[in-house]
Each structure stands twice: as structure tokens, then as C-alpha cells.
């Protein structure tokens, strides 16, 4: 099996990073003034649409992978990609609904009297749509990590020679890479302090710096309030993590919770 520049598990990890960026921006939009939120939400609509395309492209690449046995785990990965694509499309629909609500009052049509301001009901409903968009895609990074682990384990079983050499990672470094891939780690730049989501093990700044020095993670400006920087895997970091995912020392990705599912049926396309 010829290893392409980007393996399938690595591709899923990069997709997960895009879900994290998308989710950070949605949280920032939901706390903005309605006029700013309207513009920002409208500009952000292509992002979940691109996430949907990315998930579907990954699904097709997995289906077309030569010599990959369609096992139960592979079918789970394919189903997860279909679910993520659907959820991303529905999230885009919710953003469109929020923009429609906000723009009616903030940017009235020609000939209409400018609104004196949004009612509390309009504001609450628009915020609800933006929150739903975030909830639907909020576990995208964790889902991609879980899928990458299942796929890596499957590929390792059938094509053990297809993986890159195992990197020298301590258990703390591997745990940190997995937490970064799941979108759980930000930094307080002023205090140079690692901030992790509840339920994530402790990650020290020493571990972060060791991974940065090896070019496995990088800092990016974070859209969240009070979080100066978001940690993301580099391409080399995706390669290093993919090489160890699915092995006994890794936390079983299949135990991660499933993504939030829509409670009401909505059209998958507009």
C-alpha cells in the first residue's frame, strides 16, 4: 500500500482542527453586538459548508482506499463522516436563520423604516440558532479523533508497513497531542498557562513547549474571549499522533461520546 503525502487518519485529524476553529468563532459571534453578529454570522456560513464537503470527501477517500477491508469499524467511520457532514449542513442552515432574524432589524430593506432595535425575542431566537449551530458541530474534533483512531487501528491490522516510524513520545506528550486534536487546549498568553476543558487531564506548559520545540503543535490566535491562543497540531503533529493512535497505549477513541444529533428533522440541503 503506497503511503500518500497525507494518510487517511492524518486527514481526519486536520478536519477536526477545522471543526475546532469553526466552533471557536461561533462562540465569539454569539457574544457580539447584533450588528456585528449579523455580518460575522453571514461571513461564517461558508465555513460549516466547507466542513460538510470535507467530511464527505474524507468518506469517499476511505471508501476508495485500496485494500481497506469494510469491517465494522470502517463502517462506523464512514457513518461518522456522513453524520458530521449532515450536522454541518444543518448548522449552516441555523446560521442562515440567525442572519435573517438579525438583518431584518439591523439592515432593513429599501423603503422599510429602520428598526429602533431588536426585540428581546428576536435577539434570543437568533442567539438560539447560533448556539444550535455550535452544539451540532461542537464535538466535531472529538469525533474526528475517534474516527482517526478506529481507522488507524484498522489500517495497522491490514497494512502494518504503511505507517510512519513510531515517534518517541512520552505518555504525557501523547495525551497532550490527543487533547489538542480534540480541541481541548488553549493558552493564557499573559501567564503562559495551559487551559484545558473540564474532564481533560492536567497538561503542563513544559509538555507543551517540548512538543512545540519538535514542531508537533503550533499556537494560533483564538477567537474565544479570555483565551489568547489555541493549540493545533502541525502536519508533523498529525503524522506523529496518527502513528500511535489505535495502539494499546492510546485511550480507545471508540469510547468518545457521539456527536450531538438534531432533535428535529431539517432539510439536509437548501
Rounded distance, CA 150 to CA 1, Å? 18
Asked which of 98-107, 109-118, 171-180, 217-226 is least confident by mean pLDDT, the reply is 109-118
268 closest CA partner among 116, 31, 52? 52
Evaluate if residue 231 carries a pLDDT over 70.
yes
What band does 32 get if pLDDT is binned at 50, 70 and 90? Answer: confident
Rounded distance, CA 69 to CA 155, Å? 9
Rounded distance, CA 159 to CA 175, Å? 25
pLDDT in tens, 197-228: 887 889 999 999 999 999 999 999 887 777 77
**Across all residues in the chain, what is the average pLDDT?**
84
Residue 182 dihedral angles phi and psi, to the nearest 5°? -85, 0
H or E segment to which residue 84 belongs: helix 72-106
What band does 267 get if pLDDT is binned at 50, 70 and 90? Answer: very low
Evaluate if residue 106 carries a pLDDT over 90.
no
Look at residue 149 in the predicted model and tell me its pLDDT: 95
Evaluate if residue 95 carries a pLDDT over 50.
yes
Does residue 167 contact residue 207 with C-beta atoms inside 8 Å? no
Of residues 85 and 257, the one with the higher pLDDT is 85
- Beta strand extents in 26-136 (DSSP E only): none
> What cell was used for 252?
480507545
Burial of 260 from C-beta contacts in 10 A (0-12 / 13-18 / 19+): middle
What is the rounded average pLDDT of the residues 27-56? 91
pLDDT in tens, 156-171: 887 766 666 778 899 9
Look at residue 110 in the predicted model and tell me its pLDDT: 53
Amino acid at each position: 500500500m503506497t503511503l500518500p503525502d497525507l494518510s487517511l487518519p492524518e486527514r481526519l485529524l486536520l478536519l477536526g482542527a477545522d471543526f475546532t476553529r469553526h466552533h471557536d468563532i461561533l462562540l465569539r459571534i454569539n457574544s457580539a453586538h447584533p450588528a456585528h453578529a449579523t455580518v460575522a454570522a453571514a461571513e461564517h456560513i461558508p465555513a460549516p459548508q466547507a466542513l460538510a464537503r470535507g467530511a464527505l470527501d474524507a468518506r469517499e477517500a476511505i471508501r476508495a482506499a485500496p485494500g481497506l477491508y469494510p469491517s465494522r469499524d470502517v463502517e462506523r467511520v464512514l457513518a461518522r463522516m456522513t453524520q458530521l457532514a449532515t450536522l454541518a449542513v444543518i448548522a449552516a442552515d441555523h446560521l442562515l436563520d440567525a442572519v435573517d432574524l438579525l438583518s431584518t432589524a439591523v439592515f432593513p430593506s429599501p423603503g422599510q423604516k429602520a428598526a429602533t432595535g431588536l426585540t428581546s425575542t428576536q435577539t434570543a431566537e437568533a442567539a438560539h440558532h447560533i448556539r444550535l449551530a455550535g452544539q451540532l458541530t461542537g464535538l466535531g474534533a472529538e469525533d474526528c479523533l475517534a474516527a482517526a483512531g478506529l481507522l488507524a487501528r484498522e489500517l495497522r491490522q491490514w497494512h502494518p508497513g504503511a505507517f510512519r516510524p513510531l515517534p518517541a513520545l512520552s505518555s504525557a506528550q501523547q495525551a497532550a497531542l490527543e487533547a489538542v486534536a480534540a480541541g481541548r487546549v488553549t493558552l493564557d498568553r499573559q501567564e503562559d498557562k495551559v487551559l484545558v476543558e473540564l474532564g481533560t487531564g492536567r497538561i503542563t506548559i513544559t509538555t507543551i513547549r517540548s512538543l512545540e520545540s519538535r514542531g508537533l503543535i503550533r499556537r494560533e490566535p483564538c477567537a474565544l474571549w479570555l483565551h489568547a491562543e489555541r493549540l493545533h497540531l502541525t502536519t508533523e503533529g498529525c503524522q506523529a499522533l496518527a502513528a500511535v493512535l489505535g495502539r494499546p497505549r492510546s485511550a480507545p477513541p471508540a469510547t468518545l461520546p457521539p456527536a450531538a444529533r438534531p432533535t428535529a428533522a431539517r432539510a439536509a440541503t437548501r
